[in-house]
Structure 1
Amino acid sequence: MHRIKNLIVAGLIIFTGLAHAQQVGYPIDLSDQYRAGDDFMGIRLLGALELKGNNLLSELSGLAWDEDEGILIGVTDRGFLLHLKPEIRDGLLTGMELLRHFPLRNREGKRLSKLDSDAEGLVVIGGNNGRSGDSRLIISFETRNRIVRFTPEGILEAELPLPAPLRARRFYSEPNKGLEAVAMHPSLGLLTGPEISKRSGPIPIFGAEGRRWYYQPFELDGAMVALETAPDGDGVLLLERAYSFPFAPWVITLSRIHPEVDNGGSLLTAQQLLRFVSNQGWRIQNFEGLTHHRNNRYFMVSDDGGLVYLQTQLLYFEIQ
Structure 2
Amino acid sequence: MNTEIAPSSNENQFQGITLLAQKRLLFKEISGLKFSEISDVTYDLNEKKLYLLSDEGILFVFEATFSDRIETFNAVRGMRLAKKEGKKFKKWRHDSEGLALDNKGHLYVSFEGRAKVGKFNQKGEMVKKYTLPKKLRDPKNYRSRNKSLEALTWHPRYGLLTAAEWPLKNKQKKDQTVYALNGKEWQFKAEAEQRSAVVAMEVMDDGNLLVMERSYSGLLNPFVITLKKVYLNKCKNKMCKSELLIKMNSHQGWSIDNFEGLAKVGKHRYVMVSDDNGNFFQQTLLIYFEVTH
Please indicate, yes or no, whether the TM-score normalized by the shorter chain is above 0.5: yes
Structure 1 residue 136 displacement after superposition = 1.4
More helix per residue: 1
Instruction: Tell me the residue number matched to 1:53.
Output: 27
Q: Which has the higher strand share?
A: 2
Q: Output aligned runs, 1:203-242, within 5 Å.
A: 203-218=176-191, 219-233=193-207, 235-242=208-215
Are residue 165 (structure 1) and residue 143 (structure 2) matched?
no
Whether contact under 8 Å (2:216, 2:222) holds in the other structure is yes
Confirm or deny: 8 A CA contact 1:46 1:316 kept in the other structure: yes
C-alpha spacing 1:107/1:28, structure 2 compared with 1 (3 Å): same
Q: Could you tell me how far apart the structure 2 residues matched to 1:208 and 1:112 are? A: 23
Give the match for residue 125 of structure 2: 155
The residue aligned with 2:278 is 306
Q: 2:228 aligns with which of 255, 261, 267?
A: 255
Structure 2, gaps ≥5 residues long: none
Per the alignment, in what secondary structure is the counterpart of residue 231 of structure 1? coil
Q: Number of matched residues?
A: 284
CA distance in 2, matches of 1:47, 1:212: 35
Which whole-Å CA distance do the structure 1 matches of 2:206 and 2:187 have between them? 23
Q: What residue in structure 1 maps to residue 153 of structure 2? A: 183
Task: Quickly say closer, same or farther: Cα 1:194–1:265, change in 2 above 3 A.
Answer: farther
Aligned residue for 1:258, secondary structure, equals: strand
Distance in 1, Cα, partners of 2:128 & 2:134: 18
Change (3 A) 1:113 1:126: same
Q: TM-score, normalised by structure 1?
A: 0.84
**Normalising by structure 2, what TM-score?**
0.91
Distance 1:76 1:265 in 2: 36
Instruction: Give 5+ residue unaligned stretches, structure 1.
Output: 1-25, 128-134
Between the aligned residues of both structures, percent identity stands at 33
CA contact 1:212–1:264 (8 Å) conserved in 2:
no
- 1:49–1:95 CA contact under 8 A, matched in 2: no
Q: Deviations over 1:112-169 (max 9, x none)?
A: 2211211111111235xxxxxxx21111110111100001220110101111100011
User: Any conservation in 2 of the 1:57–1:312 contact (CA below 8 Å)?
Assistant: no
Name the SS of the counterpart of 1:108 in structure 2: helix
- 2:82 aligned residue: 105
* Larger Rg computed on CA atoms: 1
CA drift of 1:84 comes to: 1.3
Deviation at 1:110, TM superposition (A): 2.4
Q: CA RMSD in A?
A: 1.8
Answering whether residue 45 of structure 2 is matched by residue 67 of structure 1, we say yes
